[in-house]
Structure 1
Amino acid sequence: MSDLIRDLTDDQARAALVCKWGEVPDDVLPAWVAEMDYAVAEPITEALHRAIDAGMTGYPRFGAGGALGAAYAGWASRQFAHEVDPSRVVATVDVTAGVRLALDAVVGPGGLVMPVPGYSPQLAMAEMTGRERFDLLLDPDAERAELDLDQLDHHLSHGARALLLTQPHNPWGRAFTRAELEAVRDVVVRHDAFVISDEIHAPLVLDGREHVPYLSIEGTAEHTVAVVAASKGFNIAGLKCAQVVTASPRLHEALVSVPMARNDSWSVLGVAGSIAAYTDGDAWLAALRERLTSQRDLLVDLLAEHLPRARMRPIEATYLAWIDLRAYGHDDPAALAVERQRVQVAAGHDYQPGLTGHVRLNFATSPERLTEIVRRLALALA
């Protein structure tokens, strides 16, 4: 295993990850928030030290493109063979803010389709923007987590205007194929609808799989805004810098012409960290994927040993496992886990209101911690 990935000790994790580790009591082992228990890549910390030494604590440069746009475009070309116009890369504070910016600036009136279970903070996005939410439901008993195109077609026929496509998907763990995304495009085009593609987990494809940017699909430029970031792949969410990407002059102009107060909060340090990640982070990211693949495989073995009735679909991307524990007969296994065994996983009903018996487990930690997490979870449900 590469020594580029350095595990944080418990004390280091509590100091560094003030939400994941700090929002739980000291005796609780956290496996909930989507942060990794690994030290930040050295090129990023070095860039941040240089920025602080230079006194860069003020406002960032405004406008699209620039060094950030060039860095992201170069990275997308190397990682995904996707050619991006650097001048059409617009900074924003984070991916959720970028989604809202796209909804406000470029999507006309109408409902929002949300694949569910879905990233819990974004479940409120429709209500926040004055829209009806249309749930694109995943059958919890389905053998494979796939987008239901018939459901999507129905929703777009009955008042929905846009699809919020999270890909790779959190918490499904899917890296959608080119054929799947082309099928989504065909439905969207048929209804003259819109796609906001949240690709925050794009760096985290496993087993050598391909991440296919939705904008790389032919015929998507005029109906798509992609929102990307280095935050999940490089563990720098607190730096507050995501990017909104378009391939259409019309959509780009709509985004950059919004009032300043609509999109003015990204961080100058976030820009510095993101540029370093995109420019000098390839080796660290390759080592991270290797580590996460090993952790994913360990999780499969641990579930087979300690929770043999658990059901988990193959994880193709992310470090987040969506685990079906309904066979153990508890509506809220996450609550039992923290109450009985002091381990914190994320409750499934946060990702799909009303859904029972599921949890989301973060396996981006050390092998020793992951072993203890599963052991405690099993004892809690015994």
Structure 2
Amino acid sequence: MPTESELDAITLDQLRAVPSEKWSTYPDAIGAFVAEMDFGTAPAVRRALHDAVDTGQLGYLSGPPVARMQEAYTGFAKRRFGWSVDPERVRPVPDVLAAFEATVRHLTPEGSPVVLPTPAYMPFAPFLHDLGREVIPVPFARDGGRSVHDLDAVDAAFARGAGLLVLVNPHNPTGRVFERAELEALSAVVARHGGRVFADEIHAPLVYAGHAHVPYASVSPTTAAHTVTATSASKAWNVPGLKAAQLVLTDDDAAETWQRRCTWTEHLAATPGVLAHAAAYDAGEDWLADVLAYLDGSRRLVADHLAAHLPEVGHTPPEGTYLAWLDLRRYALDRPTAWLREHAGVALADGRHCGAAGDGFVRLTLATPRPVLREILDRVTTALTTERRGA
């Protein structure tokens, strides 16, 4: 299992030696814009991948790997979240966006708008536009410094004819982990309008002490009946390039429609990825626990540094995920990510790509060695402090 000193010892040169999107897109900057970790993956996952190569499991996806993944995920969901799921209802998909596309196309009324709470994970809005769907953005409200769903606005969006709500929990980019009472209140609005929820729970294993992930479909029979849940090991075990994820179908009608119209999506999942997911869920929790403890220290490092050196940056430590959502509006930067790349040599994600509610914000991926994270924070601090003095 990785120790803190081992994770600290990973260097920028080592990270840049791997031609990933995160480290090759901006070669003159420190990459912190892609939601990937810089810690490799669990030994069990590596063994599963080597075994897949050694035994020739590189063909089209077949029944036995799917069954292994289904049993592994349902066991993990029961241990981790207390959620009992029929293994047959856990379907392989290549990634969450593929599951989202199939859900929109086949499990919602044709042409119906989609409710998208904002700020939102960047691809959702443009993806919906490409599918010919109207997006109804619903900015989060604020309650005691936390982002919460604006239930009146969600209600109004469904009243306009929306058929689907996108629920990202834990939330990307804000890091919120929505509580059971919040989910119950949201479900009452959805049920009142006969709507459906696409629950993106890809960050579900990445939740910090004091918070607990509650699968939306597990809240009640009502939520189970109007939800499709997409999840994956790709974030928690750092394997997004393996092209595998899970769609959990807790509604009989959705499961029947999926069987008739959507199984082609399953064929896009990669056999090695499905095997790696089974290994992660079955034997990767000890590795995850160590990494999550390290991430907890890193999110506290970000919060302490900002409080001490950049108090004008708005920030609420994430309750889950490894993403820090930073409010730079007081600096009045026209294009904050471009400015920070130029003046700090740090590449962050632009909040404007998360919708109008993200204008003036940036997203920092903190899942990097702490010496690198400190370098990021120091560079940003120097640049913003110099800008403030020159203003």
* TM-score where L is the length of structure 1: 0.95
State the distance in 2 between where 1:256 and 1:128 align.
25
Q: 1:378 aligns with which of 374, 381, 391?
A: 381
Q: Which amino acid aligns with 1:196?
A: F
Pairing of 1:216-295 with structure 2 (within 5 A): 216-218=218-220, 219-258=222-261, 260-295=263-298
**Which residue does 1:74 correspond to in 2?**
75
Check if 1:204 corresponds to 2:200: no
Distance in structure 2 (CA, Å) of the matches to 1:346 and 1:215: 30
**Which amino acid counterpart does residue 279 of structure 1 have in structure 2?**
D
User: Number of residue pairs matched?
Assistant: 381
Is 1:92 the counterpart of 2:85? The answer is no
Shift of 1:263: 4.2
2:56 maps to which residue? 55
Q: Please list the CA deviations of residues 210-255 of structure 1 after superposition, one character each: whole Å capped at 9, or x if unmatched.
A: 1000110111122110001000111000001011001122211211
1:13-69 CA-to-partner distances (Å, cap 9, x unmatched) read 2344611111111x3111110001112111100111111111222211169961111
Compared with structure 1, are the counterparts of its residues 331 and 139 closer, same or farther at alpha carbon in structure 2 (3 Å cutoff)? farther
SS in 2 for 1:312: coil
- 2:47 and 2:137 mapped to 1: Cα distance? 43
The answer to whether the aligner puts 1:361 opposite 2:364 as a matched pair is yes
The reply to whether residue 35 of structure 1 matches residue 42 of structure 2 is no
- TM-score of the pair, normalised by structure 2: 0.93
What SS is found at the alignment partner of 2:171? coil
Superposed CA RMSD in Å reads 2.0
- Equivalent residue, structure 2, for 1:193: 195
The aligned amino acid for 2:239 is: I
Do the aligned partners of 2:299 and 2:318 also contact (CA within 8 Å) in 1?
yes
2:114–2:164 contact (8 Å) kept in structure 1:
yes
Match of 2:137 in 1: 135
Alignment pair present for 1:328 and 2:340: no
Moved more, 63-72 or 158-167: 63-72
* 1: CA distance, partners of 2:38 / 2:66: 32
Task: Specify every segment of 5 or more residues in structure 1 that has no aligned partner in the other structure, as ranges.
Answer: none
**TM superposition shift of 1:260:** 5.0
Question: Structure 2 CA distance, aligned partners of 1:66 and 1:336?
Answer: 49
SS in 1 for 2:348: strand
Q: Percent identity?
A: 40
SS in structure 1 opposite 2:189?
helix
Report the Cα distance in structure 2 between the residues aligned to 1:138 and 1:6, rounded to whole angstroms: 35
Which amino acid counterpart does residue 36 of structure 2 have in structure 1?
E
Q: 1:355 to 1:229 in 2, by over 3 A?
A: closer
Give the secondary structure class of the aligned counterpart of 1:164. strand
Q: Is the 8 A contact 1:114 1:164 kept in 2?
A: yes
CA–CA distance in 2 between the matches of 1:184 and 1:354? Answer: 20
3-state SS of the aligned residue for 1:136?
Answer: strand
Q: What one-letter code is carried by the residue in structure 1 that aligns with 2:103? A: A
Q: CA deviation at 1:378?
A: 2.0
Residue aligning to 1:159: 161
Structure 1 residue 126: Cα displacement: 2.2
**Offset of residue 353 of structure 1:** 4.0
**Counterpart for residue 343 of structure 1:** 346
Shift of 1:75: 0.4
Cα distance, 1:377–1:174 mapped onto 2, change above 3 Å? same
Matched, 1:318 2:317: no
Cα distance, 1:299 vs structure 2: 0.4
Give the residue type in structure 2 aligned to 1:276: A
Tell me whether 335-344 or 325-334 shows the greater mean CA deviation: 325-334
1:12 is aligned, of 11, 14, 18, to 14
In 1, Cα distance between equivalents of 2:177 and 2:19: 27
Do the aligned partners of residues 63 and 120 (structure 1) sit closer, same or farther apart at CA in structure 2, a change above 3 Å counting? farther
Describe the SS at the equivalent of 1:120: coil
Change (3 A) 1:161 1:262: same
- State the SS of the aligned residue for 1:235: coil
Q: Give the stretch that moved more between structures: 173-182 or 204-213.
A: 204-213
CA distance in 2, matches of 1:203, 1:183: 23
Task: Report if aligned partners of 1:112, 1:162 keep a CA contact under 8 Å in 2.
Answer: yes
Residues 1-10 or 317-326, more deviating: 1-10
Using the alignment, how far apart are the partners of 2:55 and 2:65 within structure 1? 23
Q: CA deviation at 1:347?
A: 1.1
> Are 1:63 and 1:256, in contact at CA under 8 Å, matched by a contact in 2?
no
Aligned residue type for 1:358: F
1:331 aligned counterpart, secondary structure: coil
Deviations 1:269-325 (A, max 9, x none): 101110010000111111121111100000011112331211112310001011101
Q: What secondary structure is seen at the aligned counterpart in 1 of 2:41?
A: coil
Match of 2:124 in 1: 122
**What is the identity, as a one-letter code, of the residue corresponding to 1:290?**
A
Q: Is the Cα contact below 8 Å between 2:65 and 2:271 reproduced in 1?
A: no
1-structure distance, mates of 2:215, 2:65:
20
CA drift of 1:170 comes to: 0.2
Offset, 1:139 = 4.8
Contact 2:99–2:265, Cα closer than 8 Å, also in 1:
no
